[in-house]
Structure 1
Amino acid sequence: MAVRTTGHIGLRVGDALIVVDLQSDFLPDGRLAVPRGDEVVPLLADCVRRFLAHGLPVFATRDWHPADHCSFQAQGGPWPPHCIAGTPGAAFARDLCLPRAVVIVSKATERDRESYSAFAGTDLAQRLRRAGCTRVFVGGLATEYCVLSTVLDAIDEGLAVVLLVDAVRAVNVQADDGVRALARMTERGASIATVAELPE
């Protein structure tokens, strides 16, 4: 599926960056590795730098599961254990530089509640409103799960959304899951851009 991007896109007051789940367990050799997930790390590290250089807020989300989380296969869920709070697998990617100004958003922290979206069970919406944010740029892992859910919830919160299409990767349990997720996000109103289209 060919993806049309917006072309050069400016950054302005009211913009924010959401980096979704760039954690060790989702990278190669992790417990729930997303194919080629490591490729997005330098792209999003560059985005973090650019947004902070423009004085714009950056939020980094993370799965922060209890050891017996409902999404794990031992509890009847679909996934192997991953991103257990406080373990090396839950740590952010080593090459993702997150200065102290970056706000960390922990999600899926309750044993009996699955939360793909960065907005589910967190205070992200309130933080964005307090910061005066009206548009969010989103990239990370994985396209058809946490990125998709975060984008759709951001739209439901009344935010404009720009998906950084070269800075996402899909699990693709089914071969075209990622493509279908991209289509769903754009059908709901998300714009598409690449990292190169952002200003330095």
Structure 2
Amino acid sequence: MPSIRPTDTDMLGLIDVQPCFMPGGALAIAGGDEVVPAINRLLAGPFVQVFATQDWHPPGHSSFASSHPGRAPFDSIAMPYGPQTLWPDHAIQRSAEAELHPGLDQRRIELIIRKGFRPAIDSYSAFFENDRTTATGLDGWLRARGIRRLFLAGLATDYCVAFSAEDAARLGYHVCVIEDACRGIGLPLPEGGDTIAAAKARLAAAGVRFITAADFVI
């Protein structure tokens, strides 16, 4: 039975719902476009308070494989802030692929956090860039609004959604990931398994709940 009815201390976070992460995009995620109608149903129903994030890279960003001669997408390198997965060029500032998906109902989005715009630091989390110290300002904004619980949806389950959820839990928010409104990349890991399973295990250990849209009272 549905059991969750969002209140004025709850907010929906839409993570990187951008064409570059959808079929046909530069960093396509299988089924990535399927999150748009799922999210729009949430926006038409239980949620009135919403923020979004947007990957927003300059050309030649340090996380692009093309910026490292001899390297290929999905290689890993050491950066000053730690290990960094290299990606295809994606989410280039002012490109159509970097905009929020045109089919997304944006009328309730109150704040858009742009991340990854610093050339030397990648950014997965809605709260911190990958050096783990450069804050986006989202935490302060949420606290000023009195938000205590976050519901996250978008792309990708194992990277930007997961890092955002993990940071939110560490900062003291109650966090739920809406699984059927997310899709993951699923890169294989050397030790076996993939990045989706590893992210879900890490988030569960941090106290993050996994729910579906059917859990909401409409």
**Same fold, TM exceeding 0.5?**
yes
> Counterpart in 1 of 2:41?
46
Asked if 1 retains the 8 angstrom alpha-carbon contact of 2:51 and 2:109, the reply is no
* The one of 178, 183, 196 aligned to 2:196: 178
> Counterpart in 1 of 2:217?
199
Mapping 1:120-159, distance limit 5 Å: 120=128, 121-159=135-173
* The one of 58, 73, 81 aligned to 1:66: 58
> Counterpart in 2 of 1:3?
none
Question: What are the Cα deviations for residues 32-58 of structure 1, in whole angstroms up to 9, with x where unaligned?
Answer: 001111111111122223354xxx420
More divergent stretch after superposition (168-177 vs 112-121) = 168-177
Asked if 1 retains the 8 angstrom alpha-carbon contact of 2:2 and 2:214, the reply is no
Task: Kindly indicate which of the two structures has a greater share of residues assigned to helix.
Answer: 1
Distance 1:98 1:161, change over 3 A: same
Structure 1: gaps (5+ residues): 1-5
Name the % identity: 36
Distance 1:183 1:167 in 2: 19
Question: What are the Cα deviations for residues 113-159 of structure 1, in whole angstroms up to 9, with x where unaligned?
Answer: 11100111311111100110000000111111101100001011110
Structure 2: gaps (5+ residues): 69-84, 129-134
> Counterpart in 2 of 1:9?
4
Distance 1:116 1:184 in 2: 16
Distance 1:151 1:140 in 2: 12
Mapping 1:83-102, distance limit 5 Å: 83-99=91-107, 101-102=109-110
The one-letter code matched in structure 2 to 1:93 is H
SS at match of 1:60: strand
Asked if 2 retains the 8 angstrom alpha-carbon contact of 1:23 and 1:90, the reply is yes
* The one of 62, 82, 85 aligned to 2:90: 82
Distance 2:113 2:43 in 1: 15
How much has 1:101 moved relative to structure 2?
4.5
- Tell me how many residue pairs correspond in the alignment: 192
The one-letter code matched in structure 1 to 2:59 is A
